[in-house]
Structure 1
Amino acid sequence: MKHTTWLLALLLPFTHELNAQKKADRKTLGNLQAHITFLASDKLEGRRTGTPGEQLAAEYISTQMKLAGLTPKGDSGYLQTFPVSEGKLIATASHLTVNKTTLTPGEQFIPLPFSAQKSAKGDVLRDVNEPENIWLFNVKDFEMQPHADPLEIYRQNAREAAKAGATGVIFYNGDETPKEIQKWLSVAVDPLTIPVMWVNSETSKLLSETEDLRINMQVSFTAGRRTGTNVVGYIDNKAASTIVIGAHFDHLGHGEDQNSLAPNDKTIHHGADDNASGTAALLELARLLKTSHLQKYNYLFVAFSGEELGLFGSKYFTEHSSVAPGSFNYMINMDMVGRLDPTRGLQVGGIGTSPVWPALLQQTIPVDIHTTYDSSGIGPSDHTSFYLKNVPVLFFFTGTHSDYHKPSDEAAKINYPGELTVIKLVYTLVEKTNNMDKLVFTHTRDKQTTSTGSPRFTVTLGIMPDYTWQKAGVRVDGVTDNKPASKAGILANDVIVELGSYTIVNLEDYMQALSTFKKGDKTTVKVRREDSEKVFDVQF
């Protein structure tokens, strides 16, 4: 009996601690589900940068940071706004008059993105294209290949017309809608020497039914801008250095920015895993660290927007942080951490950015969690912006899946216990660094960069890389319809080993090679497909 009493005395504290941990885990799981369910709801309409849905998400994140007791560190409370360039907009000076009919810009006519900002006028015979006059092209006369890029077809015809002496070009009877043509204005393309317009079906009918036409046209553009919003909260432990934890919260909206892998589906892209999951993890780590004993460092929590457009939010933040970037100890980025799967496991990027990472991660991540590692500080998410400022980084990611960048990325598909596991791993890692000095930064494999510090891409192959792929080459995880890869015949599961004259060993090689091409360039892509190699001709 005495032995039993003694044993119970030993077990009681352990049992109490275990029950407390289970209760804490249940709270975190409940919070994760609430965060992701709201952020991925129809009400937020896909959280596209600069939209009311993004603003609702930012307000929610701000409220949660306030409830967690974080100090605001944005420009206006928790919020930090930043500009996003979105190509050309039709300026008010643009006009088109046919005989005595003045047409409406953006609806009845739209200047094409390669148009010169000039005016032209003349008396035009519909079926006669003569030098020193405006030319009319009936698009129904074109021989369009099934996978042809109509924008490129229009550009080629307009360029030839300019060489032949045309003073302006109007395309009519095209199959596109004004909404589709408006999207073309975001495409970066060099201007021609003459003004060029597309007209809708109503105006096409006017041009088709009138023999003698008096046309006056002028094209003028303004730079398109929208405003994105980061959300920033802070735990001030009066320390000299600060740990940054980040996740992007923006997503694709209805796919308006042409970054959907379901290009014909204009419904809401919910973005539960990408990246409501990382945002929810950010909020829960903020809550846990606020009440923790880990106080050697300050903590800065940043929910970025504009990631899907090209890391706009994190790039802006690293240039305009209210906490000096020189004081940053390291940055942890969580992007798509909601689909932990035993077969794919966990990927951790950036382990080469500080010499302490490999040993720390080995001590932190249990051996039963299949983990793949990437040394590079450059990657397809916001940690890249910090690495380029010489800050050690880690990138946590549970892999792509068939719902990536599609409306079907929904809250019901999140593995909540798996996400809790990721949160615990990040917390343990932070806990281990609490007893360490500020980390040493190391450069990983360098690549040619532009003056802004990152590769300049003007073209896309139209593939989704498998970021968990650890063998030589870049494995294709998805192919976007009507992009160069799709048109050439490249398929999912192909492994790209050469792009033009560049040998592709890893994702860095692929990104560097891609940055050397411009629209209109032709090259070859060599892939491994099962046990054979195939070479495809592509044109950007």
Structure 2
Amino acid sequence: MRTLIPSTAAALAAILLAACTAERVDAPASASAARIRADVQVLADDRMQGRMTGTPGFDHAARYVAVRMQRIGLEPAGDSGWLQRVPLQQSVAIVERAVVAVRNDGRSTRLQPGRDVLPAPGFEDAVALTDLPMVFAGHGVHAPELGVDDFTGLDLRGKAVLLLGGTPARLEPDLRAYYGATGTKLEALAARGAVAAVFLRTPADEAALPWSRLAEVLARPAMRLAEAPQTTVRAVLHVHADAVDTLLAGSGRTLAQLAAQADAGALPTFALPNRLDLATASRLQPVESANVVGRLPGSDARRAGQVAITAHLDHLGVGVGGDDRIFNGAVDNALGVAVMLEAARRMAAAPAPARDTLFVALTGEEQGLLGAQAFAQAATDGALVANLNLDMPLLLAPTRDAGVAGVERSELGGHVREAADAMDVALTPDPMAAQGTFVRSDQFAFVRRGVPALYLMGGTDPVRRNDDPAAAAAAFMRERYHRPEDDADSPIAWNDAARLAGLVARTAASVADAPRPPAWRAGDFFGGRFAPSRPLESPPLP
């Protein structure tokens, strides 16, 4: 583990003074809201250098969170005091060393790295694959239970698999997000013996995420758990829309035709006559990071299981170029961590519920939910009974409600509804459902271990007539999300943040006091897939 950088009292005092004097859209009306604002100011300060996993800036933030947990009255619950060590492997793609050539009718046409093709970071120093047969596998989705199987009739062993991003439009949003995730697709390809994945970019992809932005994303270090098994293909490439027809030459298909067929829901799969030569290179190094874990002991040692409240502490670090290069991550996710800490303070000040409650500031979310994976995997089977996750709660204008993803999937929905009713707060089921949010944040690492989970966020029903929380959220995603502009000057409804902390605390206490752990609803897709032995057969909670 890196040595954590000690923070000085003077430095923290300066940050907290700024917190007390800065103008905000919703000035704190309570000590609870003021504490959340102060924590956000500290965690999103330039001194934290964007809290990139495996950097001194993240370690500085982890130390701050550990001190806050200690002062709240939690007990250290990591494998090293407050810290659960998370060994990682880091990879950076060396784009200029990539070689991609298409063999067609005795000729070899090379694609230009950076312009025509971008390699994703890999976890081998160098990969060289020659004379690869190619197949086109539609969206690369294997979901026969939903009537979708792009691998039917295809032999992928030893081949480069060409595929489009996304999924068939007929799947509901959470399943589109799950099956459309790059990791899900690569696992499916690797399980069938494919050695390379080649993502074909369409004009629609370019409109959604320009090539230049994709290049920035792929230039960032990628990480995986150091002890993770190799369950992916050996090379992953992204091909610019202007170069795709070079790969398809001789197949009788063009990118325009495939894109139109995808829109119509009738995407074909086929073998190509061409062969592919490719080489990629990456710089690898070990990286150490940690989750920060505090425990509120339960009052009844006979009550098995623990409730985990989580929020990711990491962000994107420091970029290259520009006057403001620090990705401060105020809303994503200093705010979520601050709300979690306030929920911990409230629970620690109240009579302890029966079960233990764990509060975890997670590392590695931006690299693929790595800290959450490490935490969930380290728990023995059945040890975790529920997860409440806070990630980028878009509390951008005062609202009358709170948003919750996953509320209909398990008995946790009954617990959060009861808590909301007691607080006279309306609940809005997943206001960002169209983006498939339930599978895109740390709660999904718990779901994959069979643990029922909720993702709690901001609401959409404005208090003030002229506010439009949905439009504010869209503007944030467009102008501040994963940009240096997501800093401590972001407009935040601090009183809504305090209310969300109360909702989390009440829900967690309800689950921790319940006679039995929450179960998945019968027929839920994720409960059936990842916890088939734990469906709910009894009547739902009111």
TM-score normalised per structure 1: 0.52
For 1:394, the equivalent position in structure 2 comes to 454
Q: Deviations over 1:218-245 (max 9, x none)?
A: 9986644322210001112353332211
Question: For 1:252 and 1:220, how far apart are their aligned partners in 2?
Answer: 23
Matches within 5 A, 1:37-436: 37-87=41-91, 111-112=97-98, 148-151=115-118, 183=219, 190=234, 223-237=284-298, 238-239=300-301, 240=303, 241-255=305-319, 267-321=325-379, 324=380, 326-337=382-393, 339-341=395-397, 346-355=402-411, 357-358=413-414, 360-361=416-417, 364-365=420-421, 369=426, 371-373=428-430, 378-398=438-458, 400-401=473-474, 402=476, 403-412=480-489, 413-433=491-511, 435-436=513-514
Report deviation, 1:318: 0.9
Query: Contact 2:98–2:280 at 8 Å: present in 1 too?
Result: no
Q: 1:393 to 1:113 in 2, by over 3 A?
A: farther
Structure 2 runs not aligned, ≥5 long: 1-27, 120-127, 134-211, 224-231, 237-278, 460-472, 533-542
What stretches of structure 1 of length at least 5 have no aligned partner? Answer: 1-23, 91-108, 116-130, 153-157, 164-175, 193-217, 257-262, 454-540
Select the structure of larger CA radius of gyration.
Answer: 1
How many Å apart are 1:377 and its aligned residue?
9.8
Q: Deviations over 1:345-404 (max 9, x none)?
A: 532012234235247515625666462248999421111111222222111022744222
Q: How does 1:460-499 map to 2 (within 5 A)?
A: none
SS in 1 for 2:340: helix
Structure with greater helix percent:
2
Picking from 446, 462, 472, the partner of 2:525 is 446
Structure 1 runs of 4+ aligned residues shifted over 6 Å read 158-163, 179-182, 218-222, 263-266, 374-377, 447-451
Name 2:266's counterpart in structure 1. Answer: none
Q: Does structure 2 retain, via aligned residues, the 8 Å contact 1:114–1:191?
A: no
Alpha-carbon separation, structure 1, partners of 2:415 and 2:387:
17
2 CA distance for matches of 1:422 and 1:181?
31
1:338 is displaced (CA, Å) by 5.2
Check conservation: 1:88, 1:113, Cα contact below 8 A: no
Change (3 A) 1:297 1:271: same
* Matches of 2:220 and 2:338, distance apart in 1: 35
Residue-pair matches, total: 337
TM-aligned CA distance change 1:190 to 1:114, over 3 Å: farther
2-structure distance, mates of 1:112, 1:448: 41
Counterpart contact for 2:51–2:316, Cα < 8 Å: yes
Taking the aligned partners of 2:218 and 2:517, their CA distance within structure 1 comes to 48
Q: Cα deviation per residue 1:472-505 (whole Å; 9 max; x = unaligned)? A: xxxxxxxxxxxxxxxxxxxxxxxxxxxxxxxxxx
> 2-side partners of 1:191 and 1:340: how far apart?
40
Q: Distance in 2 between matches of 1:330 and 1:26?
A: 29
Matched residue SS, 1:309? coil
Q: Distance in 2 between matches of 1:184 and 1:360?
A: 37
Give deviations 1:145-174, integer Å, cap 9, x for gaps.
xx943547xxxxx999999xxxxxxxxxxx
| Paired residue type of 1:281 | V
Deviations 1:76-108 (A, max 9, x none): 110112133333688xxxxxxxxxxxxxxxxxx
Distance 1:331 1:295 in 2: 16
Partner Cα distance (2:99, 2:77) in 1: 39
Distance in structure 2 (CA, Å) of the matches to 1:112 and 1:150: 9
Identity of aligned residues (%): 28
Greater RCO structure (CA 8 Å; 6+ sep): 2
Q: TM-score, normalised by structure 2?
A: 0.52
- Cα distance in 2 between the residues matched to 1:333 and 1:180: 28
